[in-house]
Structure formats: C-alpha cells, structure tokens
C-alpha cells in the first residue's frame, strides 16, 4: 500500500485564496469560501471543474479534523485546484453576456417576422391587399 503525501494547511489556504481570486475575477461578488463560490458559478463552470470543486470542499472539511486530515491526498488536492482554477479562468462572462443578448435579439426578430407574415396573410384573406 502506498503512503499518500499529507497536505499542509497553509498551502491549502494559499491555493484556496488563489481560487477565490479567480472566482472573483470571473463571476464577480466577494466569495469568502469555496462552497458559496461554486454555488454562485453553478453550471457556468465546466463539469470537471465543478467536480474538482466539490472534492475540494470535502477535503477542506476533512482538514479540520486531525485524524481525517491524514486521508487527504496532497497530489489530488493540487490537481483539483489546478482543474478548478483552469475551469474558472476559461469562463468568459463578457462573451456569454454577448451571446445571451444576441440570442434574445434573434428571437425577437423571428417573432416580429412571424407577426408581420401573419398580418400579411390575414390582410390578403380579408381582401385588404
């Protein structure tokens, strides 16, 4: 059986601060902990980043207990922090907002075109055109 490398509490806190800074930059707000930051980001994060974040929340809870702290694998925690930060950094909120606005405008344009077509058909049926 291989022995897992133990993680240092200060290293975990440093990486957590780094992740929270990435969350603040990408999604705004002022998250104080990982769990609310992940909840705020929701499905805007890639699946792998969400799963890594959930594992980190569990690891953070385990680090509070000295006996459970021995079960936390430092390499896995570092990998999860890397995945989470990469996932958060990959989200471009400006592009998402632009896409949402363009989608809403396209929907509005289609509805206006449909309304105009129905009006023309109605006018021809009634003999106005």
Quick one: what percent of the chain has pLDDT higher than 70? 97
Q: 85 and 113 share a domain?
A: no
Nearest 5 degrees, angle CA 50-CA 70-CA 62? 45
Q: 3 and 46 share a domain?
A: yes
Q: 1 and 61 share a domain?
A: yes
pLDDT at site 63 = 92
Beta strands in the chain (DSSP E): none
Question: What integer best gives the mean pLDDT of the chain?
Answer: 93
pTM above 0.85, yes or no: no
Q: Which of 25, 91, 84, 33 is closest to 55 using CA atoms?
A: 84
pLDDT at site 2 = 52
pLDDT at site 1 = 42
pLDDT digits (tens, 9 = 90+) for 45-80: 999 999 999 999 999 999 989 899 999 999 999 999
8-24 b/e with 16+ CB inside 10 Å = b?
Answer: eeeebeebbeebbebbe
Q: Is the pLDDT reported for residue 85 higher than 80?
A: yes
Q: What's the CA gap between 84 and 23, in Å, rounded?
A: 10
Cβ neighbours, 10 Å, residue 56: 23
Q: 51 and 67 share a domain?
A: yes
Sequence-distant (6+) residues with CB within 8 A of 75 are 4, 5
Q: Which two tokens stand for residue 117?
A: 């077509």
Sequence-distant (6+) residues with CB within 8 A of 30 are 24
| Total count of domains within the chain | 2
pLDDT at site 6 = 80
Q: Which two tokens stand for residue 42?
A: 């929701």
Q: 51 and 104 share a domain?
A: no
Q: Is the pLDDT reported for residue 127 higher than 60?
A: yes
Domain interval for residue 118: 92-129
Q: 57 and 115 share a domain?
A: no
Q: 34 and 44 share a domain?
A: yes
Q: 117 and 83 share a domain?
A: no
Q: 81 and 56 share a domain?
A: yes
Q: 21 and 55 share a domain?
A: yes
Q: 100 and 115 share a domain?
A: yes
Q: 63 and 10 share a domain?
A: yes
């Amino acid at each position: 059986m291989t022995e897992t490398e133990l993680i240092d509490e200060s290293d975990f806190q440093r990486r957590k601060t780094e992740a929270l800074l990435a969350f603040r930059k990408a999604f705004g707000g002022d998250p104080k902990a990982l769990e609310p930051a992940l909840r705020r980001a929701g499905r805007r994060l890639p699946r792998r980043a969400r799963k890594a974040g959930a594992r980190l929340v569990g690891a953070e809870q385990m680090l509070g207990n000295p006996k459970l702290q021995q079960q936390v694998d430092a390499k896995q925690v570092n990998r999860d922090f890397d995945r989470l930060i990469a996932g958060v950094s990959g989200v471009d909120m400006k592009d998402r907002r632009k896409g949402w606005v363009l989608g809403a405008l396209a929907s509005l344009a289609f509805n206006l075109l449909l309304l105009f077509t129905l009006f023309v058909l109605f006018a021809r049926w009634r003999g106005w055109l």
